[in-house]
With several copies, the nearest count.
Chain A
């Protein structure tokens, strides 16, 4: 049996995501970074009680429309752009481990902020660097590490502090999820991945940061077509590959 990690649909790719799962959600926030179709599939599946990790808690659908309009003078956003906010807004998320749970400006109240005020979600606030390193530690089999970031601030919390080289350091623990849902550019059927530009970001970091990494990719190529010098994520970190549709599917409710 040749190795073939390609699954036929996004619904199939997330079929075994259970209520209460922890999920690393790739991307940073830009127009081509989120695993949008995997997010949509989780919304359709209506799985609940999720813990999500990632940069940003995301927007509701009306907020997304506003954001797209505001950004139009710089850049068009694709129709098939879905953010973790879709899952938050639908009440599927119980906890977020996030760097941007609420927006820096006061103008817009994102769904996560609303639910946090209502006591309906739990928040573990963490900076991007410690979050990325904790996920990388999970991939790397490192149980915990001392970082100079955080002592004396909100992110120290109850964590151990120890001094190295004259500076206090916080002990941060590896963060291994049940699933990573990420977006990549090219994949082969073994799960080797490349990314495209700034869409690499948390996607490459989260590959291997969980028991099951599911990669939503622009293109599936033949085994051997990826330059072995340029593979960013080697095959063992990836368990499933699913290819984005050639035509954008703009309603998340549409099975695909």
Chain B
């Protein structure tokens, strides 16, 4: 499907998407932050909120990314290799235990990047077209086993092609796993009845969101503006 690019319209940058995604984390949750944009989330979590941020390399209960190299701690890093704050209540674990936590269903929500998401929640995020192979990382375990999967992604590729599609054309990471999409222009839920538009970035109409989304969106009366 080709779609208009709406070059003149506002779009959230990666940090702003991460900020919106951070609002998905409720106090008391175990939240895993995947590789890429999701790693930015830890800096937008209320530092007074008690959430257990988990990173697949074997740490739970850490805080925001440390931006000052003088304070960096090479023994406390997230899955993207960034140093993160130590917080009371944290602990370290082996890789096998880190994925015991993931596979066993102890992660309430995980945030993953996406190349494509299908209307039924199928996710493709490991292999870029044209590459000989891809980066599976820990994302497949998370996509299959976390209680809830939230994808953070631009709504379209750079050439305007929709990333939210009827059926995946790229290699699948995990079937029917995505529960919610936070994009640079909208928030969409994957429900048994199909995709439901929940929030729209100011400057866009629900109809314009539909124009850059391949499957049909249910547009309920309660669509609200994306708030950061």
Contacts and interface: CB of A to CB of B under 8 A. Distances in A.
Interface of A: 1-3, 28-32, 55, 71-76, 99-104, 106, 113, 116-117, 123, 125-130, 132-133, 135-136, 138-142, 147-150, 152-155, 188, 190, 192, 195-205, 208, 222-224, 226, 228-229, 231-232, 234-237
A204 B59 contact: no
Interface stretch (B2-10, B128-136, B179-187, B189-197): B128-136
A74 B27 contact: no
B81 interface: yes
B105 A141 contact: yes
Nearest to A204: B94
Interface residues of B, number: 72
Given A3-B28, A155-B136, A235-B52, A141 B100 contact: yes
B106 interface: yes
A188 B89 contact: yes
B99 A133 contact: yes
A234 B138 CA distance: 20
A32 B74 contact: yes
Contacts of B57: 28, 30, 198, 201
5 contacts: A30-B74, A73-B67, A154-B127, A226-B91, A236-B52
Contacts of B133: 101-102, 113, 116, 123, 125
B172 interface: yes
Interface stretch (B140-148, B202-210, B212-220): B140-148
A190 B75 contact: no
A-B residue pairs, 5 tightest by C-beta: A224-B88, A197-B75, A129-B141, A141-B103, A129-B99
A229 B93 CA distance: 8
Contacts of B67: 73-74
A155 B99 CA distance: 16
Contacts of B79: 28
B75 A32 contact: yes
A201 B95 CA distance: 4
B103 A148 contact: yes
B28 A196 contact: no
B164 interface: no
A208 B106 contact: yes
B74 to A, nearest CB: 4
B107 to A, nearest CB: 8
B17 interface: no
B83 interface: yes
Main secondary structure of the interface of B (DSSP, over half): loop
Nearest to B87: A224
B174 interface: yes
B102 interface: yes
B73 interface: yes
A66 to B, nearest CB: 14
B136 A30 contact: no
B140 A72 contact: no
B46 interface: no
B25 to A, nearest CB: 13
A200 B58 contact: yes
Interface string B61-87: 100011101001111110101110011
B193 to A, nearest CB: 21
A127 B140 contact: yes
Contacts of A223: 88-89
Interface in B155-194: 171-175
Most buried by A among B28, B103, B127: B103
B105 A205 contact: no
B95 A205 contact: yes
Given A106-B131, A139-B100, A190-B61, 14 more contacts: A1-B50, A116-B132, A117-B132, A127-B141, A128-B137, A129-B103, A132-B96, A135-B96, A154-B172, A198-B57, A200-B94, A205-B94, A235-B60, A236-B106
A74 B75 contact: no
Nearest to A207: B94
Given A75-B72, A128-B137, A128-B138, A236 B93 contact: no
Contacts of B81: 29-31, 71
A229 B94 CA distance: 11
B57 to A, nearest CB: 5
Contact of B135 (A31, A103, A135): A103
